[in-house]
Amino acid sequence: MVNDMKQAAGFGLLTTPALLTTPTLVRVLFLPLILLIFFLLAPPSLAQGFEEDGFNGTTYILAKMEAEVIVPANGTSFNLSLPYKSEIRLFDSNGSEVPVETEVQFWRGSHQYQVVSEEVVTGHLNYTTPITDQRFVALAEEGEAIRVVLPPGYSTGDPVLGRARPNPDEIEVRDNRTVLIWTDLDKRTLIDVSFYKEDAPRAFRLFLLLLAFLAAVLAIEHHSSIRRLRSFREEAEEDKAEDDQAGEDKA
């Protein structure tokens, strides 16, 4: 009887469905919760709040190492020429991503993208571009409107630390971010924006003051050293003159 019970128990363990084992139950119960927490804690898009705000032009949302680009889209087929590879996504006016087919060809140093949707879409294309050394450069076509959004806590306009070229037509502040706007450019224009932390000018002035102070200290020390050397030389000349006079007197 005991052996039969052991065999039955053993048979029960062997035939227990894998889905009912403890590790599997943990995965089934907690994996959705983990995914939900990851979704809630994931950093928001750089372009949040700028996608559908009525701006009829290209928007560049800057971060330290990259810029998120928003291009208005209306139709079923869209062509882009980029100097780098990037993942291009299409969103409708409600912010929902639209499935697309993307073809890319490399021609004369540029990646030629063709993005095709099965339905007519009014919304925007979204992709990223790398930036370096807190400097952003983009080529704007004639008649195009451009908007550049600096990272939070950054500014531009200092003649030494960096400025925007050409001068923007409008400057505004949204959510602690400086926004530069060029409207209806009259010719093909290279937009060049150097940006820096808002407290950088003050730190730079303090650095210059420190350099001036050190230079003044060194100048004073140099002047004092010259005076000491001159005093030593005069004393040596006086001692020599006294010795010469004493020798003449003995003679």
Query: Residue 36 — pLDDT band, cuts 50, 70, 90?
Result: very low
- What's the pLDDT score for residue 41? 42
- What's the pLDDT score for residue 53? 63
By percentage, how much of the chain surpasses pLDDT 90? 45
Q: How far apart are CA 62 and CA 202, in angstroms?
A: 23
Residues in contact with 185: Cβ distance below 8 Å, sequence separation at least 6, in sequence order: 140, 141, 142, 143, 144, 145, 146
Q: Which CATH code is given to the segment(s) 58-198?
A: 2.60.40
Per-residue model confidence as pLDDT tens digits over 199-216: 766 665 666 677 777 887
Which of 45, 65, 72 lies closest to 147, judged by CA?
72
Statement: residue 37 has pLDDT above 90: no
Query: Residue 42 — pLDDT band, cuts 50, 70, 90?
Result: very low
Per-residue model confidence as pLDDT tens digits over 145-173: 999 999 999 999 988 888 999 999 999 99
Per-residue model confidence as pLDDT tens digits over 218-248: 888 877 788 778 777 777 777 676 666 666 6
Least confident among 99-108, 178-187, 224-233: 224-233
Per-residue model confidence as pLDDT tens digits over 4-24: 444 433 433 334 344 445 555
Statement: residue 25 has pLDDT above 60: no
Q: Where are the domains of the chain?
A: 2-41, 58-198, 199-251
Which of 213, 236, 233 lies closest to 225, judged by CA?
233
Q: How far apart are CA 45 and CA 35, in angstroms?
A: 18
Collapsing DSSP to helix, strand or coil, 11 comes out as: helix
Q: Average pLDDT, whole number, for the chain? A: 79
Residues paired with residue 173 on neighbouring β-strands, in sequence order? 178
Per-residue model confidence as pLDDT tens digits over 108-136: 889 999 999 999 999 999 999 999 889 99
Statement: residue 30 has pLDDT above 60: no
For 4-14, b/e burial (b = at least 16 CB within 10 A) is eeeeeeeeeee
